[in-house]
Structure 1
Amino acid sequence: MSALPLHPRFVSLEGGEGAGKTTVLAALRAALEAAGDEAAGSEIVVTREPGGTPLAEKIRALLLHPGEEALAAETELMLMFAARAQHVRATILPALERGAWVLCDRFTDSSYAYQGGGRGLDAAFIDVLEQRVVGLRPGLTLLLDLDVAQGRARIESRDPHPDRIERERGAFFERVRQAFLARAAAEPRRFRVIDASRTVDEVVAEAVARLRAFAGAA
């Protein structure tokens, strides 16, 4: 695993389907706002992947819409990195250069988990793309870990029309989960694993505590 710079104001949120990232992300933003960061002149940018710019959002639609033509694993990976390249250069890097906090729903770790672990693509190839196209990693990555069956049940209960990736089988998502956990074990300095099977309040409380500890040490 190649070393890339960890940015001290860049936080990513990762996890499988149904882990509750949207709720936690909103709580993280509220925690930074409550800490007075904006009053001190520091902006908070909340963004997502794939997406985060108008062009990247169009690529997101291609990736998630269950169209008639099946996407090859390599096509999916390259589209993910095309969206990420635009996102990094148009949204993330400019915000970090302004001194803003960036909170991102998914980042490159999702490619290692979904296209690497899930689809079986070579992690070394993903690493080359990360080095050449992305060039940085979050200083903190919160991984919301959840049993696959529980996550799928949550998705099914909230959305009768799952997207293309949500339609995958359980074995795919188990490979994704294990890939996330392997990355967390390999990078303990950056990752904090949070048990997302607990109540919303418990998960949010731990995520906010982790963010505050990181922000205080940054």
Structure 2
Amino acid sequence: MAGDSNMTVDAGIYVPSPQIACLGDRVWLDANQNGIQDALEVGVAGVTVTLLNGSGQSIATTITNANGIYNFCNLVPGTYSVIFSRPIGYLLTSNDREEMMNRIVMPMLTGQSSTVTLVAGDNNLSLDAGLYPQLPTNAGLGNYVWNDVNYNGVQDINETGVAGVTVTLYAADGTTVLNTTTTDELGYYIFNNLTPSTYVVGFSNLPSGFVFTTTDRGGNDATDK
């Protein structure tokens, strides 16, 4: 009406917070190395997990808790992946079986997950990783010294081993001596607990009157010299 002053028509405004999302899951000790979180397999604490954005840039890190659980929350919808930092002495199992159940496949050595796309309100708990202890990588090297009666370079039936021959293990340069042994009573020798590498073997102290036969005569390394 004429003369009225109505001060009740108002409007509130605000800056909306972005709709957020979360991702995460678990790092566990995959005792049977089958890539599946079985009932009695425990979580692994203290594993560093790095969050990458869609461009592959690191944007956050966290550490798994006492139960192996980790998560990243307050994420803007978008594309993400994670990298699990493998603890010393452990390897990552492959999650191929879990892929069939819509799980995320973890590359066995790199520790980086596939990418996931989050929408507002997502809580994606599919990025997990199984660990198992790395077995010792030591190797062995050895075989046999025998009396090659017909000197054809092949271990024929009824040709017997020669005991007491000195066998020397050299580094790849062929001069640095790493170890020595002698053939046993059956002619066999072995060097155990070797780091994977290239080695050279030398034979010496042959019985009186013996010489070496020609190498690789038979085309079979299991039976020829």
Greater percentage in strand: 2
Greater percentage in helix: 1
Considering Cα pairs closer than 8 Å and 6+ residues apart, tell me whether 1 or 2 has the greater RCO.
1
TM over 0.5: no
Superposition TM-score, scaled by structure 2 size: 0.20
